[in-house]
Structure 1
Amino acid sequence: MHSHQTAGDVVAAQIRRHRERLGMNRNDLAAECARLGRPDITYAVIVSIETGRSGTEGKKRRPVTVDDLLVLGLALATPPLLLLLPLGSEETVPTVPAADPRDPYTVWQWMTGEATPTLDGPIDGRYVTASRQFAGTGQTWAAAWATAAYPASLYPEFERRLATVHRAYLRTEANQAKGGDADAETDYLHRLEELARHIDDMVRAGLKVPALRRHLIEDMRGLDMLDNPDSVTPEESE
């Protein structure tokens, strides 16, 4: 049986929870929202979000827009997504009206593109989604989701590989000061090649590659590691 709770109800409860956690009253929160450029999120608006306001059809809560969510999250020193998906404090959260609630972390993974939504089965979403197709392309829903979610996996992996390259480069620099170390140099080049292959994947997916340190670009170009050498640009601070 589907829950009557909405995502807006969850957000409202979490706004109040984090406001009280910080010892803020509603005027305090309104002032912080104004400081962030949203003077329209007033005391009265916050009351309406948290508790609703009475009308001819009973109490009606003011909906929280995506723009509101970002401002309220920052005003409450809370990641905005946690206002919608309170990890660790709720057993389930609502998803869509046609489906049962799900475990917050499961929905978190949907929101971040880490997992494919499953609206049937247990609340942890282990069941595979239906293989229904889009009439226009014949592509299955799951395949279409995977395509759209691809950037969500590429950017974190880019940061991980870049950090690995940076550590390897620092080891090479340190060893050169001591007379050189072939193993350190080999490791650096191996890590750099992994980063270059990942950059090629990003370019093929039509994604913008974050700026890199100039010496990394020069090394990748000099060793012909990139399929599209012009796809990388140096950091502006260099």
Structure 2
Amino acid sequence: MHSHETFGDVIAAQIRRHRARLGMNRHQLAEQCARLGRPDITYAVIVSIETGRSSGEGKQRRRLDVDDWFVLALALATPPLLLLLPLGSEATVPTVPAADSRDPYTVWQWMTGEATPTLDGPIDGRYVPDSRQIAGTGQTWAAAWATAAYPVSLYPELARRRETAHKARLRASLDPSAQTEYVDRLDELAQIVNDMTRASLTLPELSPELVEDLKRLELLDHPDQINPKGIE
């Protein structure tokens, strides 16, 4: 039987939990929301979110939209995804109404694109990726997910290689014998930059010095698409 708990239930419980962690009452949380530009998230709204009470009869929680979620998380000094997927404090979280709950870290990886959702099953105790074809494309759902999630692996790798190249450049500026290492690090940076331009992804800023050296060494497939920091 699938769980009837919703992500709204999870977030409401985590708002209460993190308020207690901070020693913050509801009035104080409302003040923090107002400081972030959301004075409409009032004490009464927070009561409704946390308890499910409404001004009318019965139990009805105020619906949270994405903007509410983000503001409340920042007001509580908590990474927004942890309000939704409380790692370490809950055994399971909901997924979709037609599927079973999963442990928070599994769903975390779905949310970040690090893993492909496995909603079908369990089959012999195992969940399996969705292999159905998407109408009109011939592509499986899992393959379409992988295509959409491709940037997830590229951006952190670009950040790592950019920092490594920057440090290698500093070493080379002090020690000419380190120049070869710098070129090697530039080549690694160029590989990920080229992957991102081929995928038509927006590149984060690169320092003018790195861009100049990448172009000078002709390491870029599309040098005209790369602009250094601060240059339009």
User: Which of the five TM-score ranges fits, normalised by the shorter chain?
Assistant: over 0.9
Q: CA deviation at 1:62?
A: 1.0
The aligned residue for residue 150 of structure 2 is 150
The aligned residue for residue 73 of structure 1 is 73
Q: Deviations over 1:111-147 (max 9, x none)?
A: 001000001346xx96331310011211100010011
1:224 paired to 2:225: no
The aligned residue for residue 102 of structure 2 is 102
- Partner SS for 2:168: helix
In 2, Cα distance between equivalents of 1:63 and 1:102: 23
In 1, Cα distance between equivalents of 2:130 and 2:151: 23
After superposition, where does 1:144-223 map in structure 2 within 5 Å? 144-175=144-175, 180-181=176-177, 184-223=178-217
Q: CA deviation at 1:97?
A: 0.3
In 2, Cα distance between equivalents of 1:137 and 1:118: 21
In 2, Cα distance between equivalents of 1:167 and 1:20: 43
The aligned residue for residue 52 of structure 1 is 52
Letter in 1 for 2:207: R
Letter in 1 for 2:139: Q
Q: Deviations over 1:90-125 (max 9, x none)?
A: 010001000110010010000001000001346xx9
Letter in 2 for 1:228: H
- Partner SS for 1:127: strand
In 1, Cα distance between equivalents of 2:107 and 2:121: 14
In 1, Cα distance between equivalents of 2:108 and 2:31: 30
- Partner SS for 1:145: helix
Letter in 2 for 1:194: E
Contact 1:87 / 1:104 at 8 angstroms: preserved in 2?
yes
Q: CA deviation at 1:194?
A: 1.1
The aligned residue for residue 236 of structure 1 is 230
- Partner SS for 2:59: strand
Contact 2:30 / 2:41 at 8 angstroms: preserved in 1?
yes
Q: Deviations over 1:159-215 (max 9, x none)?
A: 01111111211221221xxxx31xx21111011011111111101111111121111
Contact 2:120 / 2:130 at 8 angstroms: preserved in 1?
no
- Partner SS for 1:144: helix
- Partner SS for 1:27: helix
Q: CA deviation at 1:67?
A: 0.4
TM-score by length of 1: 0.92
Task: Among all aligned residue pairs of Structure 1 and Structure 2, give the percentage whose two residues are the same amino acid.
Answer: 71
Contact 2:194 / 2:222 at 8 angstroms: preserved in 1?
yes
TM-score by length of 2: 0.94
1:90 paired to 2:90: yes
Contact 2:119 / 2:130 at 8 angstroms: preserved in 1?
no
Contact 2:30 / 2:42 at 8 angstroms: preserved in 1?
yes
Contact 1:209 / 1:231 at 8 angstroms: preserved in 2?
no
In 2, Cα distance between equivalents of 1:126 and 1:70: 34
Contact 1:73 / 1:79 at 8 angstroms: preserved in 2?
yes
The aligned residue for residue 15 of structure 2 is 15
Q: CA deviation at 1:37?
A: 0.5
